[in-house]
Every structure is written in structure tokens, then in C-alpha cells.
Amino acid sequence: MERSIVHMDLDTFFVSCVRLQNSGLERIPLIVGGGDRGVVASCSYEARKFGVHAAMPIKMALRLCPEARVVKGDMELFSRYSNTVSQIIEERAPVMEKASIDEFYLDITGMDRFHGSYRWTNELSALITSETGLPISFALSVNKTVSKIATGEGKPKGNLEIPQSLVQQFLNPLSIRKIPMVGDATFKLLSRIAIRNIQTLAEMPVNVLQEMIGRNGIELWKKANGIDNNPVEPYRERKSLSTEDTFHQDTTDLVFLRSVLCTMVEKLAYQLRSEQWLTSNVTVKIRYSNFDTETRQVTLAYTSSDHTLTKAVVETFDKLYQRRMSLRLVGIRFSKLVRGSYQINLFEDTQEMMSLYQAMDKIKNRFGAGAVMRGSGIYQTKVM
């Protein structure tokens, strides 16, 4: 049976949420992001006409569009709207995967026997907008790759259907940048040998791509040919991330203990970013040599950045650890998680900090989570 896979994407999600709270922001260039040294998290179509785009420094965006209004992001507000949309879809779709805070995949294979799949999806889209006020685009096709690309091509408020017989015809003229796994480095590499549209890529010998790019070359060739057998993974919301360490020898060494905590934060924060989570609640746990166990938690603005979480964890630990008795265990937990499609907290961090995290995560993705670490973790590595 031919699969029916839907990709749904909330249009300019952050902007739409902000406008629902303040109708005076309708139809004006709008930027959602941090302060003067922050970056653009999202922008309205009115701002995009001036060349403004996500991840651009706010200062540069305002030079391009001086009349733009800058509004600080509210992750709690965005999460609430996202959860409402998730609930509407979950109650009606056979299988839903929440890919990010504003992006969903649905597997409605076989629904044509009872309803028209496109008609059903169109009705669901209209229901989401009427219930929440949020505009949404969707595309229906035979797999996740084609439906995601088609959603992008149909924005804003586009509703496309690409049956199997039209998949290659739809993909061929598009830039290879439209394929989700093609980043700047891959695009530049392929451009050097005149591969810029999907048709040229699809007609390349797969073994040549594999030699150029490695294992990803095969996946890239498949996607260019409209082949993607990845399933829609049922949605399961993670509640928290945690880790703890029991020492070989009980200790009161504060430098060592803080170093252990810093290393824990770095590992969990990298996991947050890798899985596209943000946290707003940090809990620190300690266990004394007599097995007494204490915890303390703190609430903070949604984030996944090491420096913000490290500061919160160390300050909480210092308030919690007052007895100066030897410790046998320390642990941390990040909870109240929400989906965030950006690797760091774009509402708080600067362009420089964003570039640093992207560089560190790229090294970790390629060589492993321990390939690069902050100096704060070096002491405990030496000691242990």
C-alpha cells in the first residue's frame, strides 16, 4: 500500500503567537529574538522582504529593516500553543510525530478507504487554525522527505498533495538546498562539480556520491530520488533528563565537586540541543556519606546553553551543600522540558555564543560527546 505521510508546519510560529497576544503587531515587520546583541529567532513575512532571516544578528536585521519591531521571545507561551496543537492532532491522527515545537509528521496510510486523505488533512488544518488562531501549512505525499520539502514550497498557508507519480517531477527543478540534510558545506562541495538542482543529483551515480560524501552520500541520493522509508515515530514527550555520579571515595573537595557538576551539565546540555529540547527547571541532588539525601531546585528561563545551566547548577549546589560532611554522590536533573527547534536559547544568547555552541556541537557530533570540553571539567578528569 502506498504510504500517506503528512508534514504540518505552523507558519512563522513565534511571530503568530506574539500577534495573537497583541493584535497591534499585525501586518508590520516583526522580529522575535533577544536584545541588541542577540539573534533573530523568527521574523514575519513583512520583515523577510527586506532580507531578514532567522539566526541573523538583531543589529544586522535592524539595519536591513529599520522600521521592524523587536519583541523578546516567550518560550512558555510558545510551548503552550504548541501543546494545544499537539493535542488536537493526537486526538485525530492515527500516528503523530512531533519533530519540533512547530512541526509535525502524521502517518494516515489507509485513511483513503474511509475518507479522502487530502480532504481529511485539509479539515484538520482548518480546525487547528480555528481552535488556536495559528496559520499552518501542510503537504501530503508518500514519505517524510517529500512532504517536508513540499510544505516549504507551499508556504505560507500552502496545502499541497504530491502523489507518487509526480514525486520526481516535483523534486527535479528544486535546489539541492531544499533537501533537509544538505547544509552549507555539502552545497558548496556539490556546487563545485555543477550539482545544484535535485535532478542532477538524482542522476549522479550513487557510488560517486558515496566516495565524495561518505555514507551520507547514499542517503542523499535516495532523498533526491524521492526514496525515504523512515517511519513516523509515535509522539512520546520526554519529561526530564538526569544524571548522577557516585564517587569511589567520599569527598569534601569543592573544586572537584563543582568540576563534576560542570561536566554533567555539559553532557546533558549537549543532549538537550541534540534532541531539540529546552529546560526551565534545574534540580541538584547530593548524598552525604551517612546516606542522607537532599535536593534543591531552581526555575529559570527556557534554555539549553551550557553557561546558563552551569551557573544555575553551581549556585544551587552552593546553597544546598551546607553541612560540609563528605559527599558520596552528586546528580542533576533538567525538567519541564519543551521542544525548541534551535540549538541554543536565541532569546538570551549572543551571536558569538551561538557560533561557539554550533562549533562545539559540530565537533561532538563528528568525534563524540567527549571530543571537546570546557576547562571547568578538566580538574575532575585529572583527579578521576
Active site positions, annotated: 103
Residue type, 208: V
> Which candidate, 253, 232, 286, 272, places its Cα nearest to that of 109?
232
Cβ contacts of residue 344 below 8 Å, gap of 6+?
Answer: 273, 303, 304, 305, 353, 354, 357
β-bridge mates for residue 279, sequence order? 303
Q: How far apart, in whole angstroms, are the C-alpha atoms of residue 182 and residue 317?
A: 42
Contact 90, 235 (CB under 8 A): yes
Contact 58, 40 (CB under 8 A): yes
Read off φ and ψ for residue 253, nearest 5 degrees.
-70, 105
